[in-house]
Chains A and B, each alone.
Chain A
């Protein structure tokens, strides 16, 4: 292939001009005629029996159109383990439990009505510690499962156990072994746009749900399943995304507020909008899944890893969403980050009366990588090997098949580690223990789709009209990652058009074909491959039309020229050079002959061909449209959680230099290098945006962010007390883009949405250790923890 015109270029995000002019319409801005506002009444206890709900006062409030409780709607269970109902009527198990809901003509009236609902509770003892909750005599949070069978334990019936090789053999072969306890906590996704939806039924009971789902087809399916159980099995469902104000995992599951909006809309026969406040965003949305690890690793005298053993306890909270499936992703770094022959990993998810959890950028990977990578540093110290060297000794390489059966195709890990090491001036700076230190951590992540659903496909429809405008209907969604630009570049390149010609439509189940969702860093890779397939078809159609139309256009042109200029000498054209579609190509909107590319007669604007082919004056007119469905050649994990679930994997290394103030405990990041194997950068500026953004969230995860829960209640549900980084924090992140040209990726690209976050926190923890000689193994690394650890260290001396 010759030089690319658009791939690899920093094309600006002009397609999103609405976002810089205030015109982009988010759910916050969207209104429907006759729309009502819904509000939710939450529990006042972490664990209690509901004795009585009195809605009479609320119902009497002028402007209220509906008040519903669990007694007014079908008693149907929803969620991944079907362990909750939409509104809770017998028992509440967490503070965010939805007890009642109101629809009113204004949000204020709805709010006031919620306050007028009186609920009488009988408080029950709460369980807020997963270890307490696992005890045999612990009270049960759920008495029965989805099928009504009695439950005897708070441990969820999930089979998270991975084994490969033989741990005992590994232990025997070890010269050095380390064991650590590591802990990560709840963090909030902090989307700047708060959550919300509008549910609207037509008179045939068909639903249009305007929401922010990032897996619209699963969202539709969950709602269809719900409908089947509430007597609406013939209703149709359409999901429509307005512009989405950030996702970071929050939009993966269908949340309870969406079912509530649906119920209120059904009851009132009016569109109903629920829009979260920031406070709700903090206490009523599922945050990142916390995890507590025990991890043990060993290596032989040369530093070769011999085994990795780890157990995780996950505080599941009161109900189950995708947080409980994070162990399936934890298995990836546990088994496959660096070459390790013998692996054991198990995870237990435990019901408590805390907030339940969901996905967040990186899924379970940041948690598990924090465990693996802090332990790697410990092991390096134990073995007396430079931590960077230990990583290089055990580095993954192209052609490896990992214990999880992941097939490593392109792999830039070695380059990432070495690059970061050099940039940090590692050899000079490491090991000084003078308050300044360097540390690194790496990652592996899916980067070529993730077959977590039986179809990991993406459907794309591309049509080109007579003006040469290209409309692309993608089944995927955009949450701000830049797909309207990156995919337009891929499509423009493949079709021979310009990015400006491409109009991408996302997030509508009525227009799009199936897509498994914008998650798992899969969108550019999967949608990009679908685009290439569709573009090939569209281009072929155009060139087939050109074979017919181009000679006609040329003859017209000659005729015209002759008319204008009687002396015009007819050129001697060899029409056999444009006789077959294979002889032609399109570049920069121009159809031309490959065999005689500069001949002006054989060159024409593509729209000329399309117009001629459409307005033919006979019954043989043509339009250009094609569809492609790309489902990558990957496999589901088997019962042992093994299988090549992604076409390719992302690798990367973050290296940081920190300064620790031993008086205040403050950790300052002096440099942060984030090297990522991106396959091929379709748009380097956009890729850097992903690395910066993810890196910042990673630094927050490492140093400042934590949801403080006290007996199940979120104590810091606002931006004053929940410390998201600001522009003033000025973390000096330097992205390093490593290109490995992935053979299966669109133009060589791999996914890069999540990786930047994954290794950041452990790199910081390792640098802190290098600076002051104390290991802080529980996140975030706050000044208080640093001071406490330093104090203990001094005592030991």
Chain B
């Protein structure tokens, strides 16, 4: 199997991976780097469970060819909390507002929300719902997820 080497920034660290060229980014993250946050819910770009940030944009990593990550910056949910373990406001808000139930969609959900808040710190409900529309959740009916994102936005505003 043809292998390729890619180097990129992963959650703040400069990393390198040698993986089969056919692999996608999700597989590289999960199998090569043993990161468990991004999940495979469908593997074909339809559920958002595998969402990570690439150069700040939310991307379905399951359909992102690993070769294309060369030189880019990847953030997964593992890169969200502070080094001392302080949770990101989104993580806190999801726990406080029941934005998480089974939790399988949560990593992806939070990463999509992060991409939104980084770009638009004060989104309205519609904007939140649009940003999360690629992330399926079977447990919550999305209501408390949207509330969590709103609460996180407030927390982040208060801080800055």
Chain A residues near B (Cβ < 8 Å): 12-14, 16-26, 28-29, 189-194, 243-248, 277-278, 479-482, 685-686, 688-689, 692-697, 718-720, 724-728, 730-731, 733
22 intermolecular pairs with C-beta atoms under 8 Å apart: A17-B95, A20-B110, A22-B78, A23-B36, A25-B36, A191-B102, A192-B39, A192-B49, A192-B104, A193-B39, A245-B103, A278-B46, A688-B98, A688-B143, A696-B140, A696-B142, A719-B42, A719-B136, A720-B46, A724-B136, A726-B135, A727-B133
- The CA of A727 and the CA of B110, in the complex, are separated in Å by 13
1/0 per residue, CB under 8 A from A, across B18-58: the answer is 00000000000010000111111111101101000000000
B15 contacts A by Cβ under 8 Å: no
Closest to A29 in B: B36
Give the residues in chain A near B142, CB-CB below 8 Å: 692, 696, 725-727, 730
Query: Given contacts A21-B77, A277-B43, A724-B138, are A481 and B101 in contact (CB under 8 A)?
Result: yes
Closest to B88 in A: A20
A243:B103 contact, CB within 8 angstroms: yes
With beta carbons under 8 angstroms apart, the residue of B36, B135, B139 that contacts A22 is B36
A24:B103 contact, CB within 8 angstroms: yes
- Counting chain B CB atoms within 10 Å of each CB, which of A689, A694, A697 scores highest? A689
A21:B91 contact, CB within 8 angstroms: yes
Closest to A191 in B: B138
For the complex formed, measure the closest distance between the CB of B145 and the CB atoms of chain A, giving whole angstroms.
7
B102:A20 contact, CB within 8 angstroms: no
With beta carbons under 8 angstroms apart, the residue of A21, A193, A718, A719 that contacts B104 is A193
- The CA of A712 and the CA of B129, in the complex, are separated in Å by 36
- The CA of A695 and the CA of B138, in the complex, are separated in Å by 11
Q: Does more than half of chain A's interface fall in helix, strand or loop, or is it mixed?
A: loop
Give the residues in chain B near A733, CB-CB below 8 Å: 141, 143
B7 contacts A by Cβ under 8 Å: no
Give the residues in chain B near A481, CB-CB below 8 Å: 101
Give the residues in chain A near B59, CB-CB below 8 Å: none
Closest to A26 in B: B104
Give the residues in chain A near B49, CB-CB below 8 Å: 192
Closest to A13 in B: B95
Give the residues in chain B near A18, CB-CB below 8 Å: 103
With beta carbons under 8 angstroms apart, the residue of A25, A718, A727 that contacts B46 is A718
A728:B39 contact, CB within 8 angstroms: no
A689:B104 contact, CB within 8 angstroms: no
Give the residues in chain B near A192, CB-CB below 8 Å: 39, 41, 47, 49, 102, 104-105, 136-139
Give the residues in chain A near B43, CB-CB below 8 Å: 277-278
- The CA of A496 and the CA of B43, in the complex, are separated in Å by 47
For the complex formed, measure the closest distance between the CB of B96 and the CB atoms of chain A, giving whole angstroms.
4
B40:A20 contact, CB within 8 angstroms: no
B138:A20 contact, CB within 8 angstroms: no
B115 contacts A by Cβ under 8 Å: no
Query: Given contacts A16-B103, A192-B104, A278-B44, are A246 and B138 in contact (CB under 8 A)?
Result: yes
B130 contacts A by Cβ under 8 Å: yes
With beta carbons under 8 angstroms apart, the residue of A28, A686, A725 that contacts B98 is A686
With beta carbons under 8 angstroms apart, the residue of A25, A29, A693 that contacts B139 is A693
B132 contacts A by Cβ under 8 Å: yes
For the complex formed, measure the closest distance between the CB of A732 and the CB atoms of chain B, giving whole angstroms.
9
A16:B144 contact, CB within 8 angstroms: no
Given A245-B39, A479-B102, 20 new contacts (CB under 8 A)? A13-B100, A20-B90, A22-B35, A22-B37, A22-B77, A25-B36, A29-B30, A192-B39, A193-B39, A243-B103, A244-B102, A245-B103, A480-B139, A694-B141, A696-B141, A696-B142, A697-B138, A724-B138, A727-B130, A727-B142
Query: Given contacts A192-B105, A245-B102, A727-B142, are A719 and B47 in contact (CB under 8 A)?
Result: yes
A21:B102 contact, CB within 8 angstroms: no
Give the residues in chain A near B137, CB-CB below 8 Å: 192, 727
4 residue pairs, one from A and one from B, having the closest CB atoms: A22-B37, A480-B102, A19-B103, A696-B141
- The CA of A730 and the CA of B124, in the complex, are separated in Å by 13
Closest to B30 in A: A29
A692:B140 contact, CB within 8 angstroms: yes
B135:A16 contact, CB within 8 angstroms: no
- The CA of A364 and the CA of B30, in the complex, are separated in Å by 39
Give the residues in chain A near B41, CB-CB below 8 Å: 192-194, 278
Give the residues in chain A near B143, CB-CB below 8 Å: 688, 692, 733
A726:B133 contact, CB within 8 angstroms: yes
- Counting chain A CB atoms within 10 Å of each CB, which of B39, B43, B141 scores highest? B141
B4 contacts A by Cβ under 8 Å: no
B155 contacts A by Cβ under 8 Å: no
Query: Given contacts A16-B103, A192-B102, are A727 and B135 in contact (CB under 8 A)?
Result: yes
For the complex formed, measure the closest distance between the CB of A216 and the CB atoms of chain B, giving whole angstroms.
17
Give the residues in chain B near A727, CB-CB below 8 Å: 128-130, 132-133, 135, 137, 142, 145-146
Query: Given contacts A17-B95, A192-B105, are A693 and B141 in contact (CB under 8 A)?
Result: yes
Give the residues in chain A near B150, CB-CB below 8 Å: none
For the complex formed, measure the closest distance between the CB of A63 and the CB atoms of chain B, giving whole angstroms.
12
For the complex formed, measure the closest distance between the CB of A102 and the CB atoms of chain B, giving whole angstroms.
19
B69 contacts A by Cβ under 8 Å: no
Query: Given contacts A22-B77, A693-B138, are A482 and B97 in contact (CB under 8 A)?
Result: no
8 Å CB interface, B82-121 against A: 87, 90-91, 94-98, 100-107, 110
- The CA of A730 and the CA of B126, in the complex, are separated in Å by 9
B76:A22 contact, CB within 8 angstroms: yes
B80 contacts A by Cβ under 8 Å: yes
Closest to B145 in A: A727
A718:B144 contact, CB within 8 angstroms: no
For the complex formed, measure the closest distance between the CB of A39 and the CB atoms of chain B, giving whole angstroms.
14
- The CA of A22 and the CA of B80, in the complex, are separated in Å by 10
Give the residues in chain A near B97, CB-CB below 8 Å: 685
Give the residues in chain A near B78, CB-CB below 8 Å: 21-23
Give the residues in chain A near B146, CB-CB below 8 Å: 727
B103:A482 contact, CB within 8 angstroms: no
Give the residues in chain B near A190, CB-CB below 8 Å: 136, 138
With beta carbons under 8 angstroms apart, the residue of B80, B100, B135, B140 that contacts A19 is B100
Give the residues in chain B near A244, CB-CB below 8 Å: 102
Give the residues in chain A near B144, CB-CB below 8 Å: 685, 688-689, 692
A695:B103 contact, CB within 8 angstroms: no
For the complex formed, measure the closest distance between the CB of B120 and the CB atoms of chain A, giving whole angstroms.
16
A689:B98 contact, CB within 8 angstroms: yes
Query: Given contacts A28-B40, A29-B36, A278-B43, are A695 and B141 in contact (CB under 8 A)?
Result: yes
A246:B139 contact, CB within 8 angstroms: yes
Give the residues in chain A near B102, CB-CB below 8 Å: 191-193, 243-247, 479-480
Closest to A275 in B: B40
- The CA of A191 and the CA of B146, in the complex, are separated in Å by 20
Give the residues in chain B near A686, CB-CB below 8 Å: 98
A718:B42 contact, CB within 8 angstroms: yes
B100:A21 contact, CB within 8 angstroms: no
Query: Given contacts A20-B95, A20-B106, are A689 and B138 in contact (CB under 8 A)?
Result: no
- The CA of A23 and the CA of B141, in the complex, are separated in Å by 23
For the complex formed, measure the closest distance between the CB of B66 and the CB atoms of chain A, giving whole angstroms.
15
Closest to B41 in A: A192
A20:B87 contact, CB within 8 angstroms: yes
Give the residues in chain A near B44, CB-CB below 8 Å: 278, 718
B77:A20 contact, CB within 8 angstroms: yes
- The CA of A390 and the CA of B50, in the complex, are separated in Å by 49
- The CA of A691 and the CA of B90, in the complex, are separated in Å by 23
- The CA of A192 and the CA of B102, in the complex, are separated in Å by 9
- The CA of A25 and the CA of B136, in the complex, are separated in Å by 20
For the complex formed, measure the closest distance between the CB of A712 and the CB atoms of chain B, giving whole angstroms.
23
- Counting chain A CB atoms within 10 Å of each CB, which of B46, B138, B143 scores highest? B138
With beta carbons under 8 angstroms apart, the residue of B95, B110, B139, B141 that contacts A12 is B95
Query: Given contacts A12-B95, A192-B102, are A278 and B77 in contact (CB under 8 A)?
Result: no
Give the residues in chain A near B90, CB-CB below 8 Å: 20
B37:A21 contact, CB within 8 angstroms: yes
- The CA of A277 and the CA of B125, in the complex, are separated in Å by 33
